[in-house]
Amino acid sequence: MVADALCAAHGWPTHAVEAVVIRTTGDRVQDRALAEIGGKALWTRELDRALTAGEVDACVHSMKDVETLRPPELHVAACLPRADVRDRLIGADTLEALPPGATLGTASPRRRAQALRVRPDLNVVLIRGNVDTRLARLASGEVDATLLAAAGLDRLGRGAGTAVSPERMLPAPAQGAVGVEARTDGARALAAAINHAPTLSCVRAERALLARLGADCHSPVAALAEPVAGGYRMRAQLLAEDGSADVRGEMQGADPDALGAALAADLLARAPDAVRRLFAG
C-alpha cells in the first residue's frame, strides 16, 4: 500500500520501491504476551536498527504497535488514510450473546479489560499470532470467541466477525493507522507526499495521551481522536486490568498534542486507585 502510494505520488514506475521484509522478535515469539518479553519494541527494534544503519530509507508500521517514546532521530513522516478503527468480535454477535463462562482469546490488555467490564464471568486466555493462527484456534474450539482489528481483517480481505462500535468499545490508540517512519530529510520529504494530514494529527493526539499517561503494554487504555469543526474530538478510557473499574473522558481542541496531554491529565485526576496505579504519568 505504501509503495503503491509513493509511486503514484511521485510518478515512479511500479518497481521503483523495493520492499524489504524484516522479521521481528514479535513475529517469532508467539507463546507469550508482549508485556512479558519486551513490549511494543519487539515490533520495532529490528526495523529501527535497519533504518538507523541506512539499510532501508523508511519503515512501515501499524501505528498502534509503535512504542510511545521513539529514538529522536526517527520521525513519523506520513500516515495513510485511516482504515476502520473498530474491533470485530468473531464467534458471537455480541459479548452478551456468549454463554456463561465462555472463553475469549486475546493478547490485548485493553480488549481483556473491556470485555470483562461487560462480562466479568468470561474466561479470557492469551492467544497471539497472525490472523490465520487466531482464527484456527477459534475454529478448533480452543476459544469460543476472539476480538481482532477490523482494519487488519479488511486488508486481508476477510469479512469475518461483527464490528463493535466505538460507543461500545473504544479502540486502541492509533488503531487502523499505517505510518511511515524515516530518518533522513530526503526520505522524510518523499514520504510526506503521501501523508494524510487528518490521520497523522489524530494519531499524534492519541500518542500524546499515551505519553502523558505513562502507559505501557500492561496498561489497558483506549482512545480515539476524530476531526471536527475547529479541531479534534477525542474520547478515551482507562481500565483496571480485570475490568472492575474504569474512567472515561472526552475533550475537544485545536492542537493534537495539547489535546492528548490535557485529556490524559483529566483522566488520571479522576481515575480510581485500581486504574491509576497502572499508569506512571
Q: Is pLDDT at 245 greater than 60 in this prediction?
A: yes
Q: Is residue 62 part of a domain?
A: yes
For residue 43, what pLDDT is reported? 73
57-89 tens-digit pLDDT: 999 999 998 999 999 999 999 999 999 999 999
For residue 49, what pLDDT is reported? 92
Residue 42 CA to chain centroid, in angstroms?
14
Q: Is pLDDT at 39 greater than 70 in this prediction?
A: no
Residues spanned by the domain of 2: 1-81+177-195
Q: Is residue 171 part of a domain?
A: no
Domains held by the chain: number:
3
For residue 24, what pLDDT is reported? 76
Q: What is the mean pLDDT of residues 252-263?
A: 98
Of the candidates 92, 48, 88, 108, the residue with the CA atom closest to the CA atom of residue 72 = 48
Percentage with pLDDT > 70 across the chain: 94
CATH of the domain at 241: 3.30.160.40
- Rg of the chain over Cα atoms, rounded to whole angstroms, equals 19
For residue 239, what pLDDT is reported? 98
Cell numbers placing 147: 476480538
65 is catalytic: yes
Q: Is pLDDT at 215 greater than 60 in this prediction?
A: yes
Residues 116 and 44 in one domain: no
Find the DSSP H helices in 108-214. 109-118, 131-139, 150-155, 185-192, 197-213
Q: Is pLDDT at 47 greater than 70 in this prediction?
A: yes
Residues 281 and 204 in one domain: yes
For residue 28, what pLDDT is reported? 59
Cβ atoms within 10 Å, residue 186: 10
Q: What is the mean pLDDT of residues 30-38?
A: 54
Q: What are the DSSP calls for 209-268, one per residue?
A: HHHHHT--TT--EEEEEEEETTEEEEEEEEE-TTSS-EEEEEEEES-HHHHHHHHHHHHH
Q: Is pLDDT at 211 greater than 60 in this prediction?
A: yes
User: Do you know the residue count of the chain?
Assistant: 281
- Residue in 48, 65, 87, 246 annotated catalytic: 65
Q: Is residue 235 part of a domain?
A: yes
Q: Is pLDDT at 26 greater than 70 in this prediction?
A: no
Q: What is the mean pLDDT of residues 250-274?
A: 98
For residue 38, what pLDDT is reported? 52
Please provide the average confidence, as pLDDT, over all residues in the chain.
93
Q: Which of 9-13, 90-94, 213-217, 232-236 has the lowest mean pLDDT?
A: 213-217
Q: Is residue 169 part of a domain?
A: no
Q: Given phi > 0 = left and psi -120 to 50 = alpha, else beta, which region is 232?
A: beta
Residue 174 CA to chain centroid, in angstroms?
5
User: Contact 277/219 with Cβ under 8 angstroms?
Assistant: no
Q: Is residue 172 part of a domain?
A: no
Of the candidates 242, 244, 170, the residue with the CA atom closest to the CA atom of residue 206 = 170
Percentage with pLDDT > 90 across the chain: 84
User: Contact 90/138 with Cβ under 8 angstroms?
Assistant: yes
Residues 113 and 157 in one domain: yes
Residues 220 and 245 in one domain: yes
Q: What is the mean pLDDT of residues 174-193?
A: 96
For residue 6, what pLDDT is reported? 98
CATH of the domain at 144: 3.40.190.10
